[in-house]
Amino acid sequence: MNRRKREMLQIGVAAVLFAAGFFVPEAGGAKAVVFGLSALSAGTGVVYKALKSLFGGRMLDENFLMSAAVFGAFALGQYSEGAAVMLFYQIGEAFQSYAVRRSRRSIAALMNIRPEYAFVKRGGEFVRVAPEEVAAGDLIRVKAGERVPLDGVVEKGEASLDTSALTGESVPRTVRAGDGVLSGCIDLNSPLELRVSSPYRESTVARILELTEKAASRKAPLENFITRFARVYTPLVVTAAVLLAVVPSVFFGGSFDEWLYRALTFLVVSCPCALVISVPLGFFGGIGAASRNGILVKGSNSLEALSRIDTAVFDKTGTLTRGKFQVVEVVSDEGVSEEDVLKTAAYADAFSNHPVALSILSAYGKPIDRSLIENQEEIGGFGVKAEVGGKKLLAGTAALMKREGVPFTEEPDEGTIVYVAADGKKIGKIRIADEPKPDAAEGISRLRNMGVRRVVILTGDNESAARAVAAAVGADDVYAGLLPDQKVERLEELDAEKRKGGSLIFVGDGINDAPVLARSDVGVAMGGIGSDAAVEAADAVLMTDEPSQVADAVAIGRKTMRIVRQNIVFALGIKGAVLLLGALGEATMWEAVFADVGVSVIAVLNAMRALSFKRK
């Protein structure tokens, strides 16, 4: 019999004995025996923990308080009340355990995405190995019904994937040759062969598991306060109970039994379970609700900060826009063909994964001999430089041309412009178009409706392209042409302008955004296409890359904080009232049991509401 079933059996036996105790005659001490057996059945574990804490130097915990109250009640002949304290305390603990288990299910569902094996092609056939033994570039096979063990690109096959464990999205996603696939998805209907893009330690699954495991250690200020409060509160109440039992009877001639009963009532009420359990449970429920909706929040401190958002700052490319650029125009300078401009840019960008570079490679559409490329360097916020056959190639922003001393005339233009140069001479430019994501305007509108005062775009792109996106999605301000360090400087200025007590959130996806994510009050990374550096620096990760999920995260944070504050006010209010009534002799131990167990159960049930979140 497992521990949970054994505890439920003990509570059941204790409840039967407790009910029977009211029908047993008091003669011969039978009533005391039956109620004593009820308390013993329910409270064996509590007394054991109390003794263990006592000899471990930590006697003032809830187990000690309950044990002292029960033994005191029996010493005063209050058998039914003593048994009730232990029975209902254990019933309350059972409710709390159930609530914790339910809250853990969403997190546990994420933890279950850990792959157990992978079928990798070795020597002409697929063999089963541990995912950690597969290297980038290996070919793996995923059968129908199996979980994708590593990130990769489809080489052969077409299948529907269940991505709900990662994104919270219930609609399957169809993939075919050339599509990227994230580890942790489930192949629903047809085998796939994937070319692995990164080893297991760098895979989506490994990153999610690491982030989830760290979440519990990052506590909110309010949660830390409750922990510190309980450490001080409990000894103070125990001291007050001792004084309540001794001082009136010694100095004012009252009945010691009467004042001891009041002190025991005081002890039962003082147990801080309602706060110590329900507050962390509320935060845990909020983190679970977020994970079920494809949002990984790294800790309750991030959840609390999300609830106070005043200013929302977004990167543009890949965050508010699709990040799937298309080359719409190639302009060549005199004496150079458009084909040469596109080829030069493609060779310069051959090793880059930036969306702009990928659009140029797609437009070029011809094989690239990467063995000819030397000294390729990607410069954050500028572009790329490389050498091919001794010729120095540049492809990037106007700032890159200025930095490398290339003579050119910067022209105002709609969209993103990539200037192309060879051996210090500009040979042309490429105009690339991007469009806002379908839910970007909706997400910003929802943030405004939730009271977010200001929405700002920070981007390294040119101002005309940035302002076009800002107008489309409804942003207040745009700061364009920024390098990574300039983004940080601008963010610090915005942070200084936010309302007192409010938080600033920054949402980005690229490696260039990592410093800004780390500097903001709440950094949110686009996890599906975001870089490792961005995900590592962020406080939360959006697995679906939808800007509207930012509003979901804020809504979950605010709901969680409302529940936590409700529990604190309710628990302290009821306990304070009953503590006062107990000290005045107006409350019995039955009222004390409600003030402890009843309040704990109600607070826990309220905390469980944090698990449920539905987008409006």
Instruction: Tell how strand 383-388 and strand 477-479 pair up.
Output: unpaired
Q: For residue 58, report the phi and psi dihedrals to the nearest 5 degrees.
A: -125, 60
Smallest CA-to-CA distance from 295 within 27, 522, 471, 493 is with: 522
Helical (H) or strand (E) element with 303 = helix 300-306
| Count of C-beta atoms within a 10 Å radius of residue 266 | 26
Is there a contact between 328 and 431 (Cβ–Cβ < 8 Å)?
A: yes
Intra-chain end-to-end CA distance of the chain, in Å: 44
Burial of 216 (0-12, 13-18, 19+ CB in 10 A): middle
Question: Considering all CA atoms of the chain, what is the largest pairwise distance in Å, rounded to the nearest integer?
Answer: 115
Instruction: Report the catalytic residues.
Output: 315
Angle separating helix axes 273-292 and 599-607, nearest 10 degrees: 10
Tokens of 172: 């399957």
Instruction: Tell how strand 159-162 and strand 173-175 pair up.
Output: antiparallel
Distance of CA 534 to the CA centre of its chain: 15
Q: How far apart are CA 383 and CA 395, in angstroms?
A: 6
Q: How far apart are CA 400 and CA 384, in angstroms?
A: 8
CA-to-CA dists, residue 301 to 210, 222, 610, angstroms: 17, 8, 16
Q: Which residue carries 């920054």 as its tokens?
A: 506
| DSSP state string for 146-190 | PBP-S-EEEEE--EEEE-HHHH---S-EEE-TT-EE-TT-EE-SS
Q: How far apart are CA 141 and CA 128, in angstroms?
A: 10
Q: How far apart are CA 508 and CA 491, in angstroms?
A: 13
